[in-house]
Amino acid sequence: MVGSISLLWPPSEGSVEFGYGVVASRRGRGYAPEAARALVAYALTLPAVTTVYADVERANPASLRVLEKAGLHRWSDDGTTARFRATAPETSGR
């Protein structure tokens, strides 16, 4: 096993949170950013989702890097927790 990743369903007002974890022996190999990119891309194709986000403790620099490498943007930071998000491109169908 490498780890796990999941959407925390159902979305609320178009936003859905996701979480992930990687077993210690598999960390640092690029699996988490790759999985996060894929899950975010998938989630943003769902009709009920316009924003995908993840919260991370600032004391966890590896997880901060995962979200940055996955292409999410930091949009909130209270000094303890940073929130990252990705949003769906504006389309006429949404």
Q: Sort 80 into a burial class: Cβ within 10 Å, 0-12 / 13-18 / 19+.
A: exposed
Q: Across all residues in the chain, what is the average pLDDT? A: 93
Give 38-70 pLDDT, tens digit per residue: 999 999 999 999 999 999 999 999 999 999 999
Task: Return the SS3 of 32.
Answer: helix
Q: Is the pLDDT of residue 93 over 60?
A: no
Q: Is the pLDDT of residue 94 over 60?
A: no
CA distance 25 to 67: 20
| Helix H or strand E segment including 52 | strand 51-57
Name the DSSP letter for residue 20: E
pLDDT of residue 91: 54
Q: Hey, what CATH class is 3-87 in?
A: alpha beta
Give the pTM. 0.89
